[in-house]
Chain A
Amino acid sequence: MRWAALAALGVLIALPAVVGSYTLTVLIFVFFYAYLGQAWNIVGGYAGQLSVGHAAFVGIGAYTAAMLSLGAGLTPWLGMFVGGALSAALGAVIGYLGFRFGLRGFYFVLLTVAFAEICRIVALNTEAIGGAQGLYITFTGNPRQFQFPDNRAYYYIALGLMLAATAVVWTIERKRFGIYLTAIREDEDACQALGVDTFKYKMLAMVVSSFLTGVGGTFYAFYLFSLQPNTVFGIPLSVEIVIRPIVGGAGTLGGPILGSFILSPLAELSRFYFARGGWSGAHLIVYGGLLILVVLFLPQGAYPYLRRLLARRA
C-alpha cells in the first residue's frame, strides 16, 4: 500500500509536464475537494460528528483573506491563516453548543446547517462585505497576491494542501487523539464511562477541522476570483465537501482522496457525454444514479473495499 501511494505521488508530481491545462484544472478541483474532504473527515469521519455546514468555514476563510487583501493590502499568504483562525473560532462555538448540549446524529447535522445558513444570510445583508454582490478580486497573476499566471502553480498548491491535510490526519490517526475519536464514533457513552473526556476531544477535532477548512477558503477565493454568499456559504458547497469522503470511506485516511478521484472525474465525464444538445439535466441524472450505485455496492466506502482487495492480492 505504501509503495503504491508513493508511486501515485510520483506520478502526480510529474503529471503537469505531460497533460494539458484542462486536465490540470480537473485535478486541481480533485485535490481541493479532497483537501476539504480530509479536513471534514477529522470531525465528520473519525469523530463521527456529521457536519453539513462546513461551507461556513470555507466562506469565512475566503471572505477574511479577500477582505484583508482588498482592504488592508495584506498578502493572502498570511490572510489565509487569519481566515483559518476565525473559522476555528466559529468551529469552537458550533462545537461547544453542539457537544455541550449533547446533540447527536440528525440534530448535530441540523445545527451545523443552521449555522451555515445564518452566516449566509448575515453576509447577504452586510453591505461592508459587498452584500449579495459579494467581492470581485482583480486578476493580476502576481504570486504575492496568491495569483499565478500558470495553472501549474495552482496545481502544486492544491496538491500540497491535500498532502498537508492528509499528513495532519495521518498524525492524528497515530496519536491517542485519533484512537479516542474513533472510540467516540463507535460508542460515545462507553468511551465516556472509561473516563475519556469526550467533550474535549470532539472540540479539538472540530477546531482542527474548521481551521483547515478555513485555510482552504483562501484558495477558493483566489482561484475563482469572486465570492458570493450563496456560493461560499450555501448548502450545495457543504454537500460537495461531504460527499467525497463518504463515497471514499468516512473515517479512513485514504477515503477523501479516493472519493474525490472517483467523483470529480465522474462529474466531468457525465457532463462531457450527457450534457449535449437539448438533454440538459441528463448528466446530473447519470451522476445521481452513479452516487446511488456507489452507496448500494460500496456501503462502507471505496477505500476500505480497495484495501481489502489489495490485502487479498498480497
Chain B
Amino acid sequence: MAILSLGRRAFLRTTVAGAAVAAFPLPLGAQPKSVKIGAVHPVTGALAEIGQACRLGAQMAADAVNAAGGITSLGGARLELVPGDTENKPDVARAEAERVISAGAQLLVGAFHSAQTAAMVPVAQQKRVPFLIDISAADPITANVADSVKKGEQKVQYVYRNFPTSRVFGQRAAQFMAEIFKEAGVQPKRVVLIYTNDLFGQTQARQFQAAVKERNPGFEIVEAIPYPEAATDLATEVSKLKSLRPDVIAPVTRATTAILLLQELAKQRVEALGIVSPGTPGLYEAGQIAQLKELVEYVMDSVPWPNFKNPRTQKVAEEYVKRSGGKTFDTNSGYSYEAILVLADVLERAKSTEPEAVVDALKKTSIKNPLMVAAGPLTFNETGDNPNASPAMIQILGQKPVVVWPRDAAAQKLVFPRPKR
C-alpha cells in the first residue's frame, strides 16, 4: 500500500537513491550498522496502559537518537528497538527476554513490574546482556546481583537501574511532606494512609511508614488502611478513615481504585487539609484527570516526574503528546525514554557493543542534565542504582500536573491547605 501511495516522482527518487546505494556500497566496517535494544514491557493485561506508554517512550528516544545521526563512535549506528510483551506475567517476561536476545538484542531495557524484571535478571546475567532497568522499584533486584558479585558467585554485574528504589520513595515522600508543610506554615498532625493491598501498595506503604518513623517529621501516621486490589466498593474503608479525623489523607492506589476512592471521599464529604500521596499512579494521568475533574484538583503526589525546566524535556513532552494521541509525558514514558538516552550515551563512550565494554562505560556514566527531576547527576553506584534518581512532588493545578517541590524544580507555587469548596 505504501508503494501505491507514493507519487511517481517520489517513487523514482527512492528507486534511484536505492540504486545509488546498491551501486556504491560503503566499505565494510564503515557501514552504519544498527544496535538492537530489547524493550520488554507489560503491553497487554492489567498494566497495558503503562506498558504502552513505556514502549512509546523508548521508541521515541530511539527515533530521536537516530535522527541526530545515531551512535557516532560506532560509525553512526542506528538504535533499533526489539519490542517485547510480558503480558504482565513473570514467565512470559523471561521467555520474552530470551526471544528479544535471540532476535539480536545486545542490550535490554524493561520491565516496569518488579516480579517481571526479576525474572529477566538471570537471563541478562547468563547471556551477558547489559540490562538497564527503566522502571521497577523493588530494592532487592539490583542489590541481589551486586551481592552475588561481591561474594564471587557472579563475575560481572550486568544489571543496572535508573529509577528510585522503594526505600528512596519512602524517604523522599516523608521529607517532601515535612518541607511542604513547613513552607505552607501549617502543621498537620494526623495522617491516614489508605493503600491498595498489592505488591505496589504494600511496598509504598511500608517504606513510607518506616521513613516517617525514622525521621519524626512532626506528623504521625495514625492508621494505615489497606483495601483489596480489585475493590469494587470503598464505602467501609472511607467511613473508617473519616472517623479517624485525618488532617492529611495519604492514598496509594491503582488507576481504577483511585477513581473509586476520590469519588467516595467526595460522597462522604471527608474534610482534610489535603490529599498528599507518598507516590501512586492514578492521580495524574491525562485520562484519570479527565475522569476525576474537580475531585483531583489540588491533590499532591510524590512521583518520579519529567523536569520541565529542562528545555529538552519540554520538546520531548510536546512530541509525546502528538504521538500518543494526547497523553501526558510522565513517569513511565519519561523513564523509558531516558533509559534509551542513557544507553545511547553509554554506547557512545564504550565505542563497542561488547558486554564488558558497555558495563565499564555504564559504571562511569555521569549525565549532568537528566530529563527527569533528580537530586543530582545521573550516575550508578556500587549496587547498580542511580542514587540521585528521585521523585518530585507534583500537584494538580488547573487540571494539569505541575511540579511544586523540590523548590528548584518547581514550576508553580504549591497550594496547601487546599481551598475549601
Interface flag for B94 (CB, 8 Å): yes
Question: Which residues of B have CB within 8 Å of A272?
Answer: 99
The answer for the CA separation of A236 and B45 in the assembled complex, in Å, is 12
Q: Could you say which of A151, A226, A230, A268 contacts B118, with CB atoms under 8 Å apart?
A: A226
Minimum C-beta distance from A80 to chain B (A): 18
Q: Which label, helix, strand, loop or mixed, suits the secondary structure of the B interface? A: helix
The answer for the CA separation of A275 and B122 in the assembled complex, in Å, is 24
Interface set, chain A 153-177, CB cutoff 8 A to B: none
Cβ of B44 and Cβ of A275 under 8 Å apart?
A: yes
User: What size tier do the contact residues of chain A reach?
Assistant: 35 or more
Cβ of B197 and Cβ of A139 under 8 Å apart?
A: no
* Interface stretch of the complex, out of B199-207, B255-263, B273-281, B335-343: B199-207
Query: A230-B198, A284-B44 known; A136 and B90 CB under 8 Å?
Result: no
* Interface stretch of the complex, out of A1-9, A126-134, A253-261, A302-310: A126-134
Question: Which residues of B have CB within 8 Å of A223?
Answer: 94
Cβ of A132 and Cβ of B85 under 8 Å apart?
A: no
Query: A139-B122, A271-B85, A280-B48 known; A230 and B114 CB under 8 Å?
Result: no
Cβ of A150 and Cβ of B119 under 8 Å apart?
A: no
The answer for the CA separation of A224 and B201 in the assembled complex, in Å, is 22
Query: Which A residue's beta carbon lies closest to that of B121?
Result: A139
The answer for the CA separation of A97 and B175 in the assembled complex, in Å, is 52
Interface flag for A107 (CB, 8 Å): no
Interface flag for A22 (CB, 8 Å): yes
Give the one of A24, A134, A139, A147 with max B CB within 10 A: A139
Give the one of A20, A24, A140, A272 with max B CB within 10 A: A140
The answer for the CA separation of A30 and B421 in the assembled complex, in Å, is 59
Cβ of B154 and Cβ of A228 under 8 Å apart?
A: no
Cβ of A268 and Cβ of B85 under 8 Å apart?
A: no
Cβ of A140 and Cβ of B99 under 8 Å apart?
A: no
Minimum C-beta distance from B147 to chain A (A): 6
Q: Could you say which of A20, A124, A138 contacts B147, with CB atoms under 8 Å apart?
A: A138
Query: A132-B197, A226-B114 known; A139 and B125 CB under 8 Å?
Result: yes
Interface flag for B314 (CB, 8 Å): no
Cβ of A231 and Cβ of B90 under 8 Å apart?
A: yes
Interface flag for A21 (CB, 8 Å): yes
Interface flag for B126 (CB, 8 Å): yes
Cβ of A138 and Cβ of B197 under 8 Å apart?
A: no
Query: Which A residue's beta carbon lies closest to that of B147?
Result: A138
Query: Which B residue's beta carbon lies closest to that of A222?
Result: B122
Interface set, chain A 95-154, CB cutoff 8 A to B: 124-125, 131-134, 136-142, 147, 149-151
Q: Could you say which of B114, B127, B153, B198 contacts A140, with CB atoms under 8 Å apart?
A: B153
**Nearest 9 pairs of A and B residues by beta carbon:** A22-B102, A226-B118, A136-B140, A140-B153, A132-B202, A138-B144, A25-B98, A22-B98, A139-B122
> Can you list 12 contacts pairing A with B, beta carbon distance less than 8 Å?
A22-B102, A25-B99, A133-B114, A139-B144, A139-B148, A140-B148, A149-B126, A224-B118, A226-B90, A226-B114, A230-B229, A280-B85
Give chain A's interface residues, CB within 8 Å of chain B. 20-26, 29, 124-125, 131-134, 136-142, 147, 149-151, 223-226, 228, 230-231, 236, 268, 271-272, 275-276, 278, 280-281, 283-284
Give chain B's interface residues, CB within 8 Å of chain A. 43-44, 48, 51-52, 83, 85, 87, 89-91, 94-95, 98-99, 101-102, 114-115, 118-119, 121-122, 125-127, 138, 140-141, 144-145, 147-148, 151, 153-154, 197-203, 229
